[in-house]
């Protein structure tokens, strides 16, 4: 798991701010969940990533490899960011701000 976290952090560092694409669906969710774009971007480029899960999904009929990234943003909250790494673009698909209670559920799942 730690190696996957390190590899994902290296991948993220390879992108510049101009190469971050936040999908329209994500913008809608950010508005609903009161997550500001500055929080999303600063968290994405932080070193506070502690969990990564690979996901294989279909987008517009094409297979897409996505990653669920969980970042610690405070003692009470974590930020879950779903991304897809492209050749030149890092696509942000969804963002969810979670509380400590939800974080405990994630930790139980990690330990399984």
Looking at the predicted structure, is the pLDDT value of residue 103 above 80? Answer: no
Domain range enclosing 90: 2-111
pLDDT by residue (tens digit) across 34-81? 999 999 999 999 989 989 999 988 777 788 899 999 999 988 889 999
b/e map of 1-39 (b: 16 or more CB within 10 Å)? eeeebeebbeebeebeeeebbbeeebeebbeeeebeeee
| pLDDT confidence of residue 61 | 78
| pLDDT confidence of residue 17 | 93
Which has the higher per-residue pLDDT, 99 or 103?
Answer: 99
- How many domains are contained in the chain? 1
CATH at residue 99:
3.30.2310
d(CA 53, CA 17): 23
Looking at the predicted structure, is the pLDDT value of residue 87 above 70? Answer: yes
């Amino acid at each position: 798991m730690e190696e996957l976290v390190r590899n994902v952090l290296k991948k993220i560092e390879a992108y510049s701010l101009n190469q971050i694409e936040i999908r329209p669906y994500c913008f809608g969710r950010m508005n609903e969940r009161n997550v500001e774009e500055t929080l999303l971007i600063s968290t994405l480029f932080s070193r506070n990533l502690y969990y990564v899960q690979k996901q294989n999904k279909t987008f517009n009929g094409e297979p897409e490899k996505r990653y669920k990234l969980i970042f610690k943003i405070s003692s009470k909250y974590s930020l879950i960011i779903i991304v897809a790494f492209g050749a030149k673009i890092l696509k942000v698909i969804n963002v969810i701000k979670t509380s400590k209670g939800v974080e405990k559920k994630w930790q139980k799942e990690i330990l399984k």
